[in-house]
Amino acid sequence: MLATTAGAEVAAFANEEKALYGVQWHPEVKHSAYGQQVLENFLFKGAKLEPNWTTGNILEEQVDRIRKQIGDARVICGLSGGVDSAVAAALVQRAVGDQLTCVFVDHGLLREGEAEQVERDFVAATGVKLYVANEQERFLSALAGVSDPETKRKIIGREFIRAFEEAELAIIAEAAAHGEKIKFLVQGTLYPDVVESGGGEGAANIKSHHNVGGLPEDLQFELVEPLRALFKDEVRAVGAQLGLPQEIVGRQPFPGPGLGIRIVGDITQERLDLLRKADAIARAELTAAGLDNEVWQMPVVLLADVRSVGVMGDGRTYGHPIVLRPVSSEDAMTADWSRLPYDLLARISNRITNEVEGVNRVVLDVTSKPPGTIEWE
């Protein structure tokens, strides 16, 4: 049987006598209501599974699994300030307590105010030990002259790991821990990250996530990935179960490579500063309009290698376009562009073009996923 709905094809077959059932395509995503129904029939009617998943079960299961994997070893976790790494860190701390030290690598690719937010909000909520590594120059130097998005992601992933390795030595020295090495590295890898990075049999490499395809081959740590089988909405539920505040679990997704993959073109300090200002304006206006919970994510993208003619006052300008990419989604596997009010879009555009020097045009991305990914790179 083959059906087409909402632009997606779903194929399914069944042999009741032999209890054989099959589905083809991506029925797990919520872009297709028919596909979701096929999956539910397959799991609950065909395979006779019980729909007994709860955040409490996942929490207990992962805590037990983490304890068995880590034992009495020491472990570090790379905090990005996003939901995924925060929930992963909180899970590991629940499992092994003071054996965990969180490392926040400030790579200079964060949005305005995010570094301060990580140090303030997460530490206050969890009491976790936090080591801050200021590595802005390191990442800018490594990324100089690089415009290819896959190369950017791999460089950022590599430099993250190198920064973690150096942080390990510093943490050991500070703690005088008898020279004991840190064996484990916690990552907030989610299921969509694995799929898009080509994980699993027959999966195409859409884009390498820095914590999957971007890891160096000579990695010195054993990975702990307690969220690897979960979607973003499930991660938020687990975070709430762990007692993390809404400011953390309700935060819009932000990619590990940060603004590095929201600048189409080479990355420079000047371009980062420009994009930060535009992004801060867009986020502030979205919040002021009370629409934070209506939009899954709103990447703000700088087309750094594109210029267009404009006019400011009586003069000619030749500036960059900024792209607004508001999307609605439940699991990040599929998404649709968010229909924001025109007056909100007008306010964002007017403020950016008036307040951000070097930008003279704001455009709206109205592409769903598929065919476009949520991030541009």
Contact 298, 327 (CB under 8 A): yes
pTM, rounded to two decimals: 0.74
Cis preceding linkage at 371, omega within 30: yes
Is pLDDT above 80 for 130? Answer: yes
| pLDDT of res. 168 | 79
Q: Which residue has the higher pLDDT, 216 or 123?
A: 123
Mean pLDDT estimate for the chain: 85
Q: How confident is the model at residue 179 (pLDDT cuts 50, 70, 90)?
A: low
What does the H/E/C string look like for 233-262? HHHHHHHHHCCCCHHHHCCCCCCCCHHHHC
In tens, the pLDDT along 249-283 reads 888 888 889 999 999 999 999 999 999 999 999 99
| pLDDT of res. 365 | 98
| pLDDT of res. 126 | 83
289 to 1, 51, 250, 362: CA distances (angstroms) = 45, 38, 17, 19
Give the containing element (helix H, strand E) for 171: helix 149-175
Residue 373 CB coordination number (10 Å): 15
| pLDDT of res. 213 | 47
Q: Return the exposure string of 291-321: e unless at least 16 CB atoms fall within 10 Å of the residue's CB, then b.
A: beeebbbbbbbbbbeeeeeeeeeeeebebbb
In tens, the pLDDT along 231-244 reads 888 899 999 998 88
Is pLDDT above 60 for 21? Answer: yes
Is pLDDT above 80 for 180? Answer: no
| pLDDT of res. 30 | 54
Phi, psi of 300 (to 5 degrees): -115, 120
Distance from CA of residue 189 to its chain's centroid?
9
Contact 86, 79 (CB under 8 A): yes
The backbone region for 81, taken as left when phi is positive above 0, alpha when psi lies in -120 to 50, beta otherwise, is left
In whole angstroms, what is the distance from residue 78 CA to residue 185 CA?
8
The mean pLDDT value for 137-150 works out to 96
| Torsion 81-87-90-95 (CA) sign | negative
Spell out the residues 6+ positions from residue 238 whose beta carbon is closer than 8 angstroms to its own. 55, 58, 59, 87, 91, 227, 230
| pLDDT of res. 215 | 64
Is pLDDT above 70 for 199? Answer: no
* Widest pairwise Cα distance in the chain: 79
| Backbone Cα Rg of the chain | 22
| pLDDT of res. 64 | 94
Amino acid present at 253: P
The pair of structure tokens assigned to 204 is 């195409």
| pLDDT of res. 5 | 46
| Torsion 245-251-257-260 (CA) sign | negative
Is pLDDT above 60 for 300? Answer: yes
User: What percent of the chain has pLDDT above 90?
Assistant: 47
DSSP code for 97:
G
In tens, the pLDDT along 202-228 reads 444 444 444 444 566 777 789 999 999
Residue 201 CB coordination number (10 Å): 4
The pair of structure tokens assigned to 247 is 């400011």
Q: Which residue has the higher pLDDT, 117 or 77?
A: 77
Q: Which residue has the higher pLDDT, 4 or 229?
A: 229
